[in-house]
Amino acid sequence: MDLKFKLKKTCSCGGRLGEFETKWGKHKTPMFMPVGTQATVKTLSPEELVDCGSDIILANTYHLWLRPGEDIVDLNGGLHKFMNYSHGPILTDCGGFQVFSLAKPKDISEEGVKFKSHIDGSNLFLTPEKSIDIQNKLHSDIIMSFDECPPYPATHEYMKNSVERTLRWMKRSLDAHKDRENQAIFGIVQGGEFEDLRRYSAEETVKMDFDGYSVGGVSVGEDPETKLRMIEYATPYLPKDKIRYLMGVGEPIDLIDGVIRGIDIFDCVLPTRLARHGNALTHDGRCNLRNAKHIKDLGPIEDGCSCYACKNYSKSYIRHLIVAGESFGQRLISIHNIYFLTHLMDEIREHIEKDDLLEFREEFVNRYNKKNW
């Protein structure tokens, strides 16, 4: 699938204003993707996602392979029909992150990875060919090549061998992909914290001519400064006319910093994970709605927010739901958090257009870091 990515503007700090096209329409970048791990964004309907401003989601290959199985999704006509999501594209990851968290180093071979199912402990084996076959049967719009997700920290020697294996696995992924007309495929840049390996991985991956490129191996336990360096070591060697995707990043300040370093697309479970613990994202930092100070607060989660939760319910009511263990409370905060991140991306695009993204970052950080309440 030709995503027809158009780079409309690059601001002086490096932020990119763009647009890509799928059969579902045109999609503005930079953008944030909510994560629907098991073919659902936890507690939200597809219609609610649209109301939150989201027009693309991520689904997880590993979890859908184990349950219900790719053949069941295929029988239903693919993910879009299976989950009644007809509002925009779906991206699937390769399953590697979950697999490598379950595998031991000795179980990684040139052929693939052996590991035990987290559901029943059964022995499983995932290869680049199998990962692509699963994603073909899921009928997502964008699929990911299979990569090795190395641990952090790792030695330069370990990481070099890992990068080389990932390059071979990505070539096998391309060879196995049978539906490139309907499914775009992204390559993944690895290399850990090492500048020379990030550059080598990026340059060799670009030679394979993927439809887009992801910066992987980020948000795996490294400190914030190292995270930014990992991105900086990779993006200068990625083509300007292809999408750049940063995997697993969703903290608001990280989104701004990623955009400044040339990233177009982000995904993370953060907004729904925070909601399950009663935490809401606001411009004034995280709001813990379990706190007793909100018992009599009749105001919305955030003044000026136009999400469904803020237009209709008070912090007092939502706190009651969270403390009482009612799932509706998690749902309302999830709606708010996803709305917050999708509209933060709107703000970022606006400031790229104005070429004052650095000034916006400074103002946002000063306010966001002021308090957690």
**129 and 85 belong to one structural domain:** yes
Is 84 a member of any domain?
yes
Look up residue 359 and give its amino acid: E
Q: Which is it for the CA torsion 330, 222, 58, 75, positive or negative?
A: negative
Contact 146, 173 (CB under 8 A): yes
**250 and 359 belong to one structural domain:** no
Q: Which domain-ending residue is among 217, 238, 268? A: 268
**327 and 241 belong to one structural domain:** no
Q: What is the pLDDT of residue 223?
A: 96
Cβ atoms < 10 Å from Cβ of 55: 19
Q: Which domain-ending residue is among 268, 289, 305? A: 268
CA angle at 167 for the pair 161 and 171, rounded to the nearest 5°: 145
Q: What stretch of H or E contains 170?
A: helix 156-176
Is 57 a member of any domain?
yes
Is 340 a member of any domain?
yes
**38 and 138 belong to one structural domain:** yes
Q: Which domain holds residue 338?
A: 275-368
Is 1 a member of any domain?
no
- What total of structural domains would you count in the chain? 2
Is 24 a member of any domain?
yes
**92 and 177 belong to one structural domain:** yes
**171 and 24 belong to one structural domain:** yes
pTM beyond 0.75: yes
Is 148 a member of any domain?
yes
Q: What stretch of H or E contains 189?
A: strand 184-189
The catalytically annotated residue of 55, 93, 147, 254 is 93
**284 and 263 belong to one structural domain:** no
Look up residue 52 and give its amino acid: C
Q: Which residues of 122-159 are buried (b: 16+ CB within 10 A; e: fewer)?
A: eebebbbbbbbbbbbbbbbbbbbbbbbbbebebeeeeb
Torsion of CA 147, 148, 152, 153, to 10 degrees: -120
d(C-alpha 145, C-alpha 16), whole Å? 24
**85 and 173 belong to one structural domain:** yes
Peptide bond just before 150 cis, omega within 30 deg? no
Q: Tell me, yes or no, if 93 is annotated catalytic.
A: yes
d(C-alpha 317, C-alpha 319), whole Å? 5
d(C-alpha 328, C-alpha 326), whole Å? 5
The catalytically annotated residue of 147, 254, 264, 267 is 267
**106 and 137 belong to one structural domain:** yes
**231 and 328 belong to one structural domain:** no
Backbone angles phi, psi at 292, to 5 degrees: -65, -25
Is 247 a member of any domain?
yes
Q: What is the pLDDT of residue 372?
A: 65
Task: Map residue 227 onto helix, strand or coil.
Answer: helix
Tens-digit pLDDT string for the chain (373 aa): 899 999 999 999 999 999 999 999 999 999 999 999 999 999 999 999 999 999 999 999 999 999 999 999 999 999 999 999 999 999 999 998 888 888 787 799 999 999 999 999 999 999 999 999 999 999 999 999 999 999 899 999 999 999 999 999 999 999 999 999 999 999 999 999 999 999 999 999 999 999 999 999 999 999 999 999 999 999 999 999 999 999 999 999 999 999 999 999 999 999 999 999 999 999 999 999 999 999 999 999 999 999 999 999 999 999 999 999 999 999 999 999 999 999 999 999 999 999 999 999 999 999 999 766 6
**54 and 200 belong to one structural domain:** yes
**325 and 244 belong to one structural domain:** no
DSSP-assigned beta bridge partners for residue 31: 265
Peptide bond just before 30 cis, omega within 30 deg? yes
Could you give the count of Cα atoms lying within 13 Å of 53 in the half-sphere of its Cβ? 21
Q: Tell me, yes or no, if 257 is annotated catalytic.
A: no
Contacts of 182 (CB under 8 A, 6+ apart): 1, 139, 141
Could you give the count of Cα atoms lying within 13 Å of 287 in the half-sphere of its Cβ? 24
Q: Which is it for the CA torsion 39, 45, 46, 49, positive or negative?
A: negative
Q: How far apart are the first and last CA of the chain?
A: 45
Q: What is the pLDDT of residue 100?
A: 81
Q: What is the CATH number of the domain that holds 190?
A: 3.20.20.105
**C-alpha closest to that of 253 among 341, 339, 337:** 341
Is 100 a member of any domain?
yes
Q: Which domain-ending residue is among 237, 268, 299? A: 268
